[in-house]
Structure 1
Amino acid sequence: MRVRFRRWAGTAACAAILGLILIACSLGGGASGQAVSGAEVTATEDAATASTWPVFGFTHTQYTVDYGQRQALRTARNAIAEKRVLQNQHIMGFGALNPEPRPGEYDFASLDARIDLIRKTHGIPVITLCCAPDWMKGGTPGRTDWNHIEVAPLPEHYQDFADLAARIARRYPDVTHFIVWNELKGFFDEDKHRWNYEGYTDMYNRVHQALKAVNPKIEVGGPYPALGGFDAPSELHGDWGNVDQRVLDALKYWIKHNKGADFIVVDGTSESDKGMVPDEFGALKKFSAVNAWLHRHTNLPIWWAEWYAEPARSGWPENKRLAVHAAAMMEFARSRTAAALYWSRQEERQECPEGCLWTNPREADGGRPSAMLRLIQEFARSFPRGTPIVPVDVSPASVRALGQADRIVVVNTQNESVKATIDRKAVDLAPYEVRWISRGR
């Protein structure tokens, strides 16, 4: 897939600077080698709400709310904590330094800080087991070359990676959901022109076994491929484009040969190689089409570790961005998605890049929650896992609606005002408006 807003941890120099910042920041975790307890964490929601699985959430990336201006950090953290969502963090890169620079030598300070941040903002923590220390990839022990962050561990180090995963699970006993690796990075076989799904599955099974030995209640998922399109025949296609058959083959192999997986993980964009086809809203059908294909091949819960409903640097106005993303989340809810993690798009020198969740907390007046964060939180609150979807009587067809017993979310997909009828009630919607409506009992 194309590079989007995201990616890895930057240069070694940037990593060193980040490490100093993390040590100084107010959210620093426990000392290296000491487990960090989550017992002190309390949620503001009532017990019934706190015990439900919110489905929607986000992934912390290189820049988040772990350092910055004190008031801006307080503003952002309070906003995140208002409604409980899933929060995901990688073990290396994306704001975390090398956790095992040399065999048996550990440095968890930066990862401690991120997990502590998730706890303090009342998130349900998820850990992505990516990426791997350099020495597991043939590099020099004690050296971290961030240019090689996308390289997979060598087969002779699969067990070492599994052992590191187990140590991390013991360190954070309150984390019970782990994703193995990221987008099959480093697992493409150039000679065979396909994914090395045998190698990935071998590593996955070792990690799964190691984590279950720590705590049988831990849930482990994979294989997390990027569902890009390809100019070749595919068994999964529609007017929105297609999914590379080589990726589907990798999924089918992993489904057949994994040993006891708890959920299946994918990642993708609604944008095809030909753009957003047939249009921005029609392209979203890809998400539910992928889920339908997965449901035919496995009974495992479906996780979207990343999902993108907008082209990079789209230039869309905020109301259109929110409308398209709300419609995408409707697709996830209708097609029984178990988790959908939004890729946080914070950037160091920007006030609020396209699709950001909060304004830059390094600025004195920063940390303000965006409408995108509020949208994710509202979906998490209104459509937790297992919520029965109740039909909505809606017209015209340009208005989309999703309902449960108490609430409806409606989206005007047109850049013009619309007079709509929602459950036999007249509603005037502004261009691209997203509105939440209470259902009378």
Structure 2
Amino acid sequence: MALVAGIMIYAGTRNSSAGEQATIPPTQAAPSLSAPPATEDWPRWGVTHTQYSADQDTPEVREAAVGILAREPMLQNQHIMGWGAGNPEPSPGRYDFRDLDRRMKMMSDSRSIPVITLCCAPDWMKGGTAGRTDWSKNHTTAPRREHFDDYAKLAATVAKRYPTVKHFMVWNEFKGFWNQAANRWDAEAYTELYNKVYDALKKVNPEIKVGGPYVPIDHHDPRIGTSEVSGPWGVVDQRVLDAIEYWIKHKKGAEFVVVDGATMTKEQEQPLPDEFGATAKFSAITTWLRQKSGDLPVWWAEYYVEPENTGWSEEKVAAVQATAMMEFARSGVTTALYWNPQKKPAGECHGCVWVPGRGDEMPMAGLLSGFVKWFPTNAKLEQVTTSDPKVRVLAQPNQMVMVNTTDAELTATVDGKPFTFKAYEIKWSQRGPA
């Protein structure tokens, strides 16, 4: 998935055969972070920063990006190692939070509800050399069992350094937790690590909310195999569902359940029956998670709707994204995070929230802020009619958003009003009293 590429981009700039030698300044004062803004409702929507973001750009670009993100306070997530952050503990008990401090400061300045993903792990916890970081191996390796307690201690240290952060996701996509001999996810080892981290975070602050297992929900062509969850879009890998159920049964506790996934099948890497219809996967998985977990809040840490090298226009990207977000809202998802608001350091940036090097707003910016404003977690959804099923619509008492899912202009009556749409156009329309 995109996150492997993201962490490897980081590796490509900081790697050598012997690993990167740590240079740690003697003192690092914790950054001054503003308290998250008070919101009437949980925003539901947000972003995960990765290798490149505006904290590394010019002050002018940073200011522009901060303004875009702050327009409607949303969730912003950052990993503690990789995806824009260096090794936080290169040697036991010696910390380097410079990258993470800079990213957390930008998140604070842009009025975020901050989230931290506790991944990845320092090399010395994985059999590597203390004081060095080999980024070429980082994304595939979990801490060794004898260092699970050390990782939990690191998690607690992070929580103490950033006391404004009250939401933590444990690990990322089960990286390194694959049982090769049994050909399945090693849910037992992951859950052991999760429980140690959970206890450590709760000792720092009982109000901290913790979630897992953050496993990727892969699916196959609908003609291949069987599973508890399937649809025209495909058949979910049963091994993934088994891992989630193990975690649900054996976790110490959790305030939310986390997964990620894409609309593309593992075989063809294409969405079925088409790019818009495939988004129904998100509703199906969310419904299953709520049933199995006792209705824990469901978080999608990442979601992907565009196959690689498609050449989609920005308008089509936004249209398919909007359709996926409609599925999340209808199925009762609590949180959905858009991965990678800035994918490169400069130039054209397909699917980004702002233009790197300039800070100009892109279509995804308006889509995210619109959904934050009108469709937070407890928004009351209402059914409205559309004369053409090719127009998708999501409505609440005061606003609705509509998407033309075709590459041609069309006219449709939605909620009793006529609308004309350009190809893949997204329209917002006021409802209720003026």
1:6 aligned residue: 6
1:409 aligned residue: 401
1:308 aligned residue: 304
Identity of aligned residues (%): 47
1:292 aligned residue: 287
TM-superposed deviation, 1:350:
4.5
RMSD over equivalenced CA pairs, Å:
2.1
8 Å CA contact 1:101–1:142 kept in 2: the answer is yes
Task: Quote the Cα distance in structure 2 between the aligned partners of 1:110 and 1:320.
Answer: 34
1:333 aligned residue: 329
1:92 partner SS: coil
2:174 partner SS: coil
Do the aligned partners of residues 178 and 31 (structure 1) sit closer, same or farther apart at CA in structure 2, a change above 3 Å counting? Answer: farther
Do the aligned partners of residues 404 and 415 (structure 1) sit closer, same or farther apart at CA in structure 2, a change above 3 Å counting? Answer: same
Structure 1 spans left out of the alignment, 5+ residues? 24-29
Match of 1:438 among 411, 418, 430: 430
Give per-residue Cα distances to partners, 1:117-136, cap 9 Å, x unaligned: 10001111000000000000
Mapped pair 1:370 → 2:362: yes
Task: Quote the Cα distance in structure 1 between the aligned partners of 2:349 and 2:5.
Answer: 9
Residue type of the alignment partner of 1:386: N
Match of 1:385 among 372, 377, 382: 377
2:226 aligned residue: 233
Match of 1:62 among 40, 46, 51: 51
8 Å CA contact 1:37–1:172 kept in 2: the answer is no
Task: Quote the Cα distance in structure 2 between the aligned partners of 1:195 and 1:300.
Answer: 22
Task: Quote the Cα distance in structure 1 between the aligned partners of 2:70 and 2:5.
Answer: 24
1:27 aligned residue: none
8 Å CA contact 1:138–1:154 kept in 2: the answer is yes
TM-superposed deviation, 1:11:
2.8
Match of 2:147 among 149, 157, 164: 157
Task: Quote the Cα distance in structure 1 between the aligned partners of 2:203 and 2:385.
Answer: 50
1:78 aligned residue: 67
Pairs aligned (count): 420
1:378 partner SS: helix
8 Å CA contact 2:75–2:113 kept in 1: the answer is yes
Residue type of the alignment partner of 1:249: D
Give per-residue Cα distances to partners, 1:213-237, cap 9 Å, x unaligned: 1101100000111111245332211
Normalization by structure 2: what TM-score? 0.92
Q: How do residues 324-363 of structure 1 correspond to structure 2 at under 5 angstroms? A: 324-344=320-340, 346-348=342-344, 350-361=346-357
1:245 aligned residue: 238
Task: Quote the Cα distance in structure 2 between the aligned partners of 1:31 and 1:381.
Answer: 44
Do the aligned partners of residues 108 and 4 (structure 1) sit closer, same or farther apart at CA in structure 2, a change above 3 Å counting? Answer: closer
Residue type of the alignment partner of 1:176: K
Task: Quote the Cα distance in structure 2 between the aligned partners of 1:68 and 1:36.
Answer: 19
Residue type of the alignment partner of 1:201: T
1:130 aligned residue: 119
8 Å CA contact 2:81–2:119 kept in 1: the answer is yes
8 Å CA contact 1:9–1:15 kept in 2: the answer is no
Do the aligned partners of residues 5 and 397 (structure 1) sit closer, same or farther apart at CA in structure 2, a change above 3 Å counting? Answer: farther
Structure 2 spans left out of the alignment, 5+ residues? none
8 Å CA contact 1:32–1:109 kept in 2: the answer is no
Do the aligned partners of residues 141 and 3 (structure 1) sit closer, same or farther apart at CA in structure 2, a change above 3 Å counting? Answer: closer
1:192 aligned residue: 182
Normalization by structure 1: what TM-score? 0.91
Do the aligned partners of residues 209 and 301 (structure 1) sit closer, same or farther apart at CA in structure 2, a change above 3 Å counting? Answer: same
1:26 aligned residue: none
Residue type of the alignment partner of 1:246: R
Do the aligned partners of residues 103 and 9 (structure 1) sit closer, same or farther apart at CA in structure 2, a change above 3 Å counting? Answer: farther
Task: Quote the Cα distance in structure 2 between the aligned partners of 1:293 and 1:157.
Answer: 33
Do the aligned partners of residues 345 and 5 (structure 1) sit closer, same or farther apart at CA in structure 2, a change above 3 Å counting? Answer: farther
Mapped pair 1:426 → 2:422: no
Do the aligned partners of residues 404 and 32 (structure 1) sit closer, same or farther apart at CA in structure 2, a change above 3 Å counting? Answer: farther
Find runs of 4+ consecutive structure 1 residues off by over 4 angstroms: 1-5, 30-33
Do the aligned partners of residues 349 and 171 (structure 1) sit closer, same or farther apart at CA in structure 2, a change above 3 Å counting? Answer: closer
| More moved, 269-278 vs 341-350 | 341-350
Task: Quote the Cα distance in structure 2 between the aligned partners of 1:4 and 1:417.
Answer: 38
Match of 1:281 among 272, 276, 283: 276
Task: Quote the Cα distance in structure 2 between the aligned partners of 1:411 and 1:5.
Answer: 30
Match of 1:117 among 86, 90, 106: 106
Mapped pair 1:100 → 2:89: yes
1:122 partner SS: coil
1:294 partner SS: helix
